[in-house]
Structure 1
Amino acid sequence: MKKPFYTLVIAILVLVFRCGAQTLFTYGSHAVDVSEFQRAYQKNNPGAAGNKEKSIREYLGLYINSKLKIAAAYEQRLDSLPALKEEIRNIREQIIGNYLIDPEGMNLLMKEAFERSQKDIRVSHIFIPVKSKTDTAEAAGKIKAAYTELKNGKSFEEVALAYSQDPSVKINKGDIGFITVFSLPYYFESAIYSLRPGNYSQPVKSDIGYHIFKNSAERKAAGRVRAAQILLGFPPGSDETIKKKTGRLADSLYQLLQKGADFAALAKEFSNDYISAASGGMMQEFGVGAYDPAFEQAAFGLKKDGEISQPVLTEYGYHIIKRITKAEIPSSPDDKSFALNLKTRIEQDERIESVKEKLYQRIITTAGFKESAYNRDDLWKFSDSLLNRAVFGQSLTVSGETPLFRLGEKMMTALDWIAYAQSNRYSPDGSGLIAYPDLLEKFKRFVATEYYRENLEKYNDDFRIQMNEFKDGTLFFEIMTREVWNKAQTDSAGQQNFFEKNKNKYNWKQSAAALIFYCTDTSVASDARKMAADSNFSREEILKRFGDKIVVDSGRFELEQIPGYKKEPIAAGKVTGISRNSGDETATFARIVKMYTKPEPKNFADARGAVINDYQEELDKRWTDELKKKYPVKVDERVLKTLFK
């Protein structure tokens, strides 16, 4: 069969809007505009060199033939077959996730994340916590006072020591070390990366309090490090005596390592980081802003793989760090692996919410969102009656059928809201029930996302084009299977008749009777070849010795089918050299049994494989000719010639 020939052809089947476009060709009552063909040609012939006119005309022939066959598939209503409809539904589910994020918003986040990844910023921090709602005014007053002190010229260190309630401020004077993209919550990161070196931010409010950040210094991104560590941790409540004793042990272990002791063995025996200790101290790869500044400074300060740091003191204990590898941050946004990593991290980060919000606003604007008139207090009471079994001594204006809002053609009622609330009213972070107004907003966004998902072809041209491509490709394979491939394979009488009419095409070239050995790798092939070269070993004995590591094919083969025939002379009794397949590391060789040096006709059995391929082409040609009569093709040469320029 020649299905591989058609795998490229189906990729050309791209449907687009034709409004105002020039028609390149028609087939029956169908028309294809020049932009549709041009997009398909450019997609499948990137950077085509040579004779452009010849290339386009040849491609146009394939394109037209494919269109004819798909038209026949639609006429036979193959698109209504349950199996094909299910296959297309499955394809849709597989690819739709790539289109449920606003592409423009995602591109902006990707650009921003890449630019921020190129530098690290050393950050100083003032923190005023808000422990309860009653503390808010007091905390706001303190952060305002701290900000005023900074504006009046006091140093950031002085103000941090005077105002910040970060537990580590007495040690670090507000300096929290270097950070990079994804090190901190997005709104902190954005506040910091908007600052020039030496500048500080206005107060930033978070869920836990107020913050002021300073950009103390910048540097080129330090990259990412894979390291192993031995942590000698301080037990809770450790006094100076215990800390000094721990430091002496750290020094002793460091000296042992300098004399060649095994790092992994010492980590397993002594490290208090029990997760990494189990794997010989190995840690996950990390960037700046992930650990204590002193730890990071030591880890990133190691100059080469395998280098070991002296003991590093942090609030957790003493660390001995071994550098395993260090990776630089790519400097080009075109680095595909790095771009994919950024995209994955963005999708898992809170910053993606801004893109989702933008998409939500676009959906409700485009689809048409209209809220109905209803009493919200009664909706909450109605919800309580069903979700919490509350009883109210008054009638409510809201019932299950009460419309809440319409999105496009979809009307959502109070019962739809209840069904959503029943499954989603508890906060994922375990903080308890979500307030009804907030939950209703989540419900609207859920409905909008589902509506967009169900109607994505209306809103995203790229998705519609790709789905039409998959659909037409599926129909193409189905009708080719029915009209050509299956017939060519199963019509034994037709094969025989075709062979009899074309016998002169099927002749043996120089050939050999041979055993061809297909081996799992070169090591197996080497051992098997030694046995094959010894006439005392039969094919069966070789197969018994290697089991499923070898497959043997026997028969008459033309010389170009025999592995290694171009590298060495082939003769009866000879075992060819080993040919290795670089794609999967398999290896082949052959044992030659008999040579046939003169050309001679093939019988039907010997020619059957080639006959089927040729018969398939004949069936395809006959059918295509019939389709051209059914759907007459007319190409506008004037329009076509504009593509040659």
Structure 2
Amino acid sequence: MMNRNTCLALLACLVATGGCKVNQQASSSKDPVIATVGNTPIYSSEFKYVYDKNAVADSLPAQESLQQYLDLYVNFRLKVLEAESLGLDTLDSFNQELGGYKQQLAEPYLQDSSITTSLVKQAYDRLKEEIHASHILISLPEDADPKDTLAAYQKITDIRQKAMQGTDFTTLAKENSQDPSAASNGGDLGYFTALQMVYPFEDAAYQTPAGQISQPVRTKFGYHLIKVIDRRPSQGKIKTAHIMVRTNPEAPVEDATAAKQKIDEIYSRLQKGEDWNQLTMQFSEDAGSKTKGGVLPPFTTGSMIPAFEEAAFALKNAGEYSRPVLTPYGWHIIKLVEKTGLEPFEDLETSLRQKVTRDSRSELNRTLLLKRLKTENAFVEQPKVYALAEKSATNALPAGQWTYATDSKDLQKTLFTILKQKYTLGDFFAYVQKNQQAKPNLTAAYYMKMLYTDFVNQSIMEYEKKHLEQKYPQYKYLVKEYRDGMLLFQRMEDKVWSRSLTDTTGYKNYYENNRTAYQWGKRVTATVYNAASAEVLAEVKTLLKKKSYPVKEVTFQDIYFDSGVGKLNSDHQAKLDNLAKAMAQDKNLLLEVSGYADIRENESVSAERAQAVTDYLVENGVDITRIVVKDFGRFKPISKTDRQKNRRVAVGITSTSKTAIEKVVNARKPLNLEITEGVFQKGDNAYVDNIDWKPGSYTLNQNGRVIYIEVASVEQPRAKTLEEARGQVISDYQTYLEKQWIEELRKKYAVVINEKEVKKLME
């Protein structure tokens, strides 16, 4: 039986993979029918395809396995036939959705796979190296008229000649480049690697030696000259965290000074050993990362602001952090989290293939594909007919107001053919009138030629799409699979899945009629402590006696008060806000709030301080039952020179969760301790299986480790309640509903099996 998740997974798999390699044989008059469902034949090739693709290897003999799968496939066809009988395949919403999927499934067939593979390998090889380059840009629209293209080319050529004769490239960039940033950076692009620039630019840069200047390069932005300054091995990928204080080059002097002072103070506190995460949470002005310890997504060369990138890659060891770094967005202290080299080709191939098919390299692929399709589909032009189109190009065309005489006999003339299909001058003129735009910088003749090229290319691609099913049987199978899968999904949703969830009376009755199927075996409630040694276990037992346990990941630094003051200030509240958040996220945490006073203060102020902290936490959602308040009064001074250290509130944080013990013990060595808590049946846990199932504690020695087990209680076998068995009951009820439905369908539609042809398949 197919449940909802299985069906969803099947559809997702088809989209993600574009299907699997299939038998190239298509159904034909010689393709035998192995079964008929209603009036719908199931051809041998169709069944063999789905069986080879989907049948799971098992211990059954091949003949029995095939027979079982045939039964399942007949059931599948019955459900699809029922959906068709209800007209679900004629709904606009269905065909619109199917059209989108067909477009996705067609994509692999509308690319030249050999070119894509070559470009993927080239991109990976280039990722091994980083280029530092400067450029000069003479802007030019992609669809520029030839006269404008020639003028831009002549201008960039003249600039190159000056550079080759010794004129400083940076000076030339500042004087001539139409890249807006050139005036300030002299055209310097910093370091970049593959897939970060448009492909023609990247290609020229990687083919130019260090210290050399490229020939003029045409991209969608215009003409470029590229001077390669340096080439170096890839720095790999880096993951960082940062603390940020915002400012910008236009900020008033007093604001810029305040930002610098703030970042310097944060840096000073880091150097004194204060916690990175606490400082990030309290002071960083990057809202997106401050709650995550300042951690940013990994990046490679050319992906970040140069100043940030340079400082980040200069860090050598995980945990090391930089001095404050200024970027156009503000000041940053950057911490290295992780640095890795270029991943193996096998790990990157899929993502590289996706990028290659989406970036400007795809234009090269499309150009070569169109060239191949013209040959395969016998594309033939009629130049004399195109001459009529060119003759009709008036100045109204670049104005976007061109029209044509719809009664002209010339419109029936064939402009070009794709195999036997004719495309007339009238077809082209209708396309021109629909797609023309105002292009005042173009001549009429050149614009007509552009539109003709677009029309030819679009026609070739549309022709290929329409004939994919005849050309590629595997594509036809995939489209059919997808269509049938969508119909199946809709009927299963209506008849089984939704009904099983909403028909509470139905699944309750099913549970009552099948209670014996939902039973708990004998169970124990236990905690298993898997310790690396007897010494570790002894430490664990000591901690267990405390009932609440020390916490490693949540910390709180003492807050200090001015002499005689018991009220909280804004800094105190900011720290307590973070603590309240941690308490909300982890309901196992407990607090011990301790107030202190200096020997020179009134003793009552210590209680006032502790109560102020407690009241603030309670106001911010912390349950008072999770707080223990202690007043230590005028406690023995911590410092005789720094009296503020004596005027404080300390907060001890513990947890009732045994997970806290695990974290404390594993802080020294990650594998010191593993704790497993739960309710166990036989077979759930090998250690629990090896002890007497009676309340108490047990110690085992296995594989050099010490296993300590505390059994809290033992429960005898009993029936599961409906709530305990609900997930399993609903799943079984779905199976029951589906079985009933199939029985109804087999009565409604005749199923005829051609045993002779089935036997041939088995043989």
- Which TM-score band applies after superposition, normalised by the shorter structure? 0.5 to 0.7
Q: 1:481 to 1:173 in 2, by over 3 A?
A: closer
Cα separation, partners in 2 of 1:27 and 1:633, compared to 1, 3 Å:
farther
Tell me which of 429, 436, 451 is aligned to 2:448: 436
Distance 1:382 1:127 in 2: 34
Indicate which of 54, 59, 62 corresponds to 2:65.
59
> For the residues of structure 1 that align with 2:730 and 2:257, how far apart are their CA atoms?
82
CA distance, structure 2, for counterparts of residue 102 and residue 219 of structure 1: 32
Counterpart for residue 83 of structure 1: 88
Q: Give the counterpart letter for 2:368 in structure 1.
A: K
The CA deviation string for residues 145-195 of structure 1, in whole angstroms up to 9 with x for no partner, is 645x6xxxxxxxx77558742579999898643211222221121223345
CA contact (8 A) 1:267 1:280 kept: no
1:180 aligns with 2:193: yes
* Distance (Å, rounded) in 2 between the aligned partners of 1:250 and 1:233: 10
CA distance in 2, matches of 1:266, 1:73: 61
Asked if 1:356 is matched to 2:361, the reply is no
* Corresponding residue number in structure 2 for 1:216: 230
Q: Output the CA distance in 2 between the equivalents of 1:565 and 1:58.
A: 38
* Counterpart residue number, 2:756: 634
The SS at the match of 1:183 is coil
Residue 202 (structure 2) aligns with:
189
Question: Following TM superposition, by how much is the alpha carbon of 1:102 offset from its aligned partner in structure 2, in angstroms?
Answer: 0.9
Give 2:111's match in structure 1, choosing from 99, 102, 124: 102
- Give the 5 Å matches for 1:229-240: 229-230=244-245, 232-235=247-250
CA change 1:122–1:630 in 2 (3 A) is closer
Aligned pairs (5 A) from 1:407-486: 407=418, 409=421, 411=423, 413-414=425-426, 417-419=429-431, 421-423=433-435, 425=437, 435-473=447-485
Q: Aligned to 1:381, what secondary structure does the other structure show?
A: coil
- Aligned to 2:344, the other structure's residue is in SS state coil
1:328-343 correspondence runs (5 A): 328=340, 331-335=343-347, 341-343=351-353
Which residue number in structure 2 is paired with residue 551 of structure 1?
none
Say if 1:321 and 1:185 are closer, same or farther in 2 by CA, change over 3 A: farther
Say if 1:256 and 1:334 are closer, same or farther in 2 by CA, change over 3 A: same
- State the distance in 1 between where 2:229 and 2:326 align: 25
Query: TM-score normalised to the size of structure 2?
Result: 0.51
Alpha-carbon offset, residue 93 of structure 1: 1.7
Counterpart CA distance in 1 for 2:397 and 2:376 is: 33
Q: Corresponding residue for 1:143?
A: 160
Question: 1:295: how far off?
Answer: 3.9
Instruction: Supply the AA of the counterpart residue of 1:140.
Output: T
1:41 paired residue number: 52
Matched residue type, 1:99: A
Kindly provide the CA deviation profile for residues 16-55 of structure 1, in whole angstroms up to 9, marking residues without a partner as x: 543799989944786525x97377435443xx4x74xx35
* 8 Å contact from structure 1 (residues 23, 32) kept in 2: yes
The answer on whether the counterparts of 1:401 and 1:414 sit within 8 Å (CA) in structure 2 is yes
Distance 1:364 1:67, change over 3 A: farther
Q: Distance in 1 between matches of 2:515 and 2:330?
A: 80
CA distance in 2, matches of 1:136, 1:2: 64
Against the structure 1 CA distance between its residues 424 and 227, is the aligned structure 2 distance closer, same or farther, given a 3 Å change threshold?
farther
Asked if structure 1 preserves the Cα contact closer than 8 Å seen for 2:170 and 2:187, the reply is: no
Partner of 1:18: 25
Shift of 1:256: 0.9
- Following superposition of structure 1 onto structure 2, how do residues 205-284 of structure 1 map, counting pairs within 5 Å? 205-206=217-218, 207-214=221-228, 216-225=230-239, 228=242, 229-230=244-245, 232-235=247-250, 252-260=261-269, 262=279, 268=285
Query: Residues 397, 327 of structure 1: CA spacing in aligned structure 2 closer, same or farther, 3 A cutoff?
Result: farther
What SS does the aligned partner of 2:194 have? Answer: coil
* Structure 1 equivalent of residue 173 of structure 2: 165
Q: For residues 511 and 187 of structure 1, do their structure 2 counterparts lie closer, same or farther at Cα, with a shift above 3 Å needed?
A: closer
Task: Give me the whole-angstrom Cα distance separating, in 1, the residues matched to 2:344 and 2:480.
Answer: 34
Unpaired segments ≥5 residues, structure 2? 141-147, 176-180, 271-278, 501-505, 521-583, 589-677, 685-714, 721-728
8 Å contact kept, 2:238–2:340: yes
Give the superposition deviation at 1:626. Answer: 12
Cα distance in structure 1, aligned partners of 2:730 and 2:192:
69
Which structure 2 residues correspond to residues 428-577 of structure 1 after superposition, within 5 A?
Answer: 435-473=447-485, 508=516, 566=681
Which digits, 9 at most, give the CA deviation of each residue in 1:189-245, with x for residues without a partner? 1223345x7474641323544414437232134315556544654449x9xxx8xx9
The letter for the 1-side match of 2:89 is L
Q: Which runs of 5+ in 1 are unaligned?
A: 150-157, 490-494, 500-504, 513-522, 528-562, 569-591, 598-606
CA–CA distance in structure 2, aligned partners of residues 166 and 115 of structure 1: 33
Distance 1:73 1:328 in 2: 51
- The secondary structure found in structure 1 opposite 2:66 is helix
Compared with structure 1, are the counterparts of its residues 352 and 313 closer, same or farther at alpha carbon in structure 2 (3 Å cutoff)?
same
Q: Report if aligned partners of 1:311, 1:319 keep a CA contact under 8 Å in 2.
A: yes
Query: Does the 8 A contact of 1:179 with 1:288 survive in 2?
Result: yes
Using the alignment, how far apart are the partners of 1:281 and 1:475 within structure 2?
Answer: 47
Contact 2:21 2:474 in 1 (8 A): no
Deviation track 1:335-392 (CA, whole Å, cap 9, x = no partner) reads: 3xx5565455445422222223233334444444343424123332397499526899
Please say if residues 124 and 216 of structure 1, whose CA atoms lie closer than 8 Å, have aligned partners that are also in contact: yes
Please give the per-residue CA displacement for 1:460-486, whole angstroms capped at 9, x wherever unaligned: 44432211223444677799999x989
Give CA deviations for 1:122-145 in whole Å, capped at 9, x if unaligned: 324464757976564354144246
Displacement after TM superposition at 1:288 (Å): 1.7
- Alpha carbons of structure 1 residues 142 and 635: separation in structure 2 relative to 1, 3 Å: same
CA pair 257-304 structure 1, distance change in 2 beyond 3 A: farther
CA distance 1:208–1:160, change in 2 (3 Å)? farther
The residue number in structure 2 matching 1:544 is none
Call closer, same or farther: CA 1:459–1:617 in 2, change over 3 Å. same
Match of residue 672 from structure 2: none
8 Å CA contact retained: 2:235, 2:300: no
Judge conservation of contact 2:33–2:757 (CA < 8 Å) in 1: yes
**What code does the residue aligned with 2:477 have?**
I
Matched, 1:111 2:111: no
Distance (Å, rounded) in 2 between the aligned partners of 1:235 and 1:610: 67
Task: Tell me the secondary structure at the aligned position of residue 218 of structure 1.
Answer: strand
- The alpha carbon displacement at 1:283 in A equals 7.6
Deviates more, 1:407-416 or 1:372-381: 407-416
Does the 8 A contact of 1:257 with 1:263 survive in 2? no
Residues 217 and 225, structure 2, Cα contact 8 Å, conserved in 1: yes
Compute the displacement of 1:114 (Å): 3.3
Describe the SS at the equivalent of 1:630.
Answer: strand
Partner of 1:578: none
Instruction: Report the CA distance shift for 1:382/1:618 in structure 2 as closer, same or farther (over 3 A).
Output: same
Alignment counterpart, residue 369 of structure 1, candidates 348, 357, 379:
379
1:633 to partner: Cα distance: 1.8
Distance in structure 2 (CA, Å) of the matches to 1:461 and 1:251: 67
Aligned length: 512
Structure 1 residue identity aligned to 2:459: V
Q: CA RMSD in A?
A: 6.2
Q: 2:309 aligns with which of 271, 293, 296?
A: 296
Question: What's the TM-score, normalizing by structure 1?
Answer: 0.58
CA distance in 1, matches of 2:216, 2:463: 36
What is the identity, as a one-letter code, of the residue corresponding to 1:165? Answer: A
